[in-house]
Amino acid sequence: MRYVVAFGRFWWNFIVGDDWRVAVGLAVAFAGTWTLAHHGVNAWWLLPIAVALLLVGSVLREVRSGVA
């Protein structure tokens, strides 16, 4: 069981990293882009805006938390 937990934790850290909010934000942005694209809206602009907001948010969160 210990190895399963360690294995899961390794992949979580490897893919999601230390800010899970970014991963969740990306999932929402991808879902939004997919939904709009499949309803006739060519939403090429959505992902770049989401990336910018997530990056700025993640950096500022780390600065303000005092961890950085």
Partner 1 sequence: MSSNVLLFLGTFLASAVEAVEALTIVLAVGVVRGWRSTLLGVAAASVVLAAIIAALGPALQRIPISTLRLVVGALLLTFGLQWLRKAILRAGGYKPLHDEAAKFAIGRAEASSAAAPTGGTDWYSFTVAFKGVLLEGLEVAFIVIGFGSAQGKLGLAVGAAAAAVVVVVAVGLVVRGPLERVPENRLKFVVGVLLTSFGTFWGAEGAGVEWPGSDLAILAVAGFVGLLSVALTQALRRRRETVTAAEVQT
Binding test (CB under 8 A) with partner 1, winner from 7, 8, 9, 30: 30
Assess 3 for contact with partner 1 (CB under 8 A). Answer: no
Closest contact distance (angstroms) between CB of 42 and partner 1 is 6
How many residues bind to partner 1 according to rule CB under 8 A?
Answer: 31
Assess 24 for contact with partner 1 (CB under 8 A). Answer: no
Could you give the CA distance from residue 57 to residue 50 in angstroms, rounded to a whole number? 10
DSSP state of 66: T
Q: Please name the residue that has the structure tokens 């809206």.
A: 41
Could you give the CA distance from residue 55 to residue 11 in angstroms, rounded to a whole number? 22
Assess 8 for contact with partner 1 (CB under 8 A). Answer: no
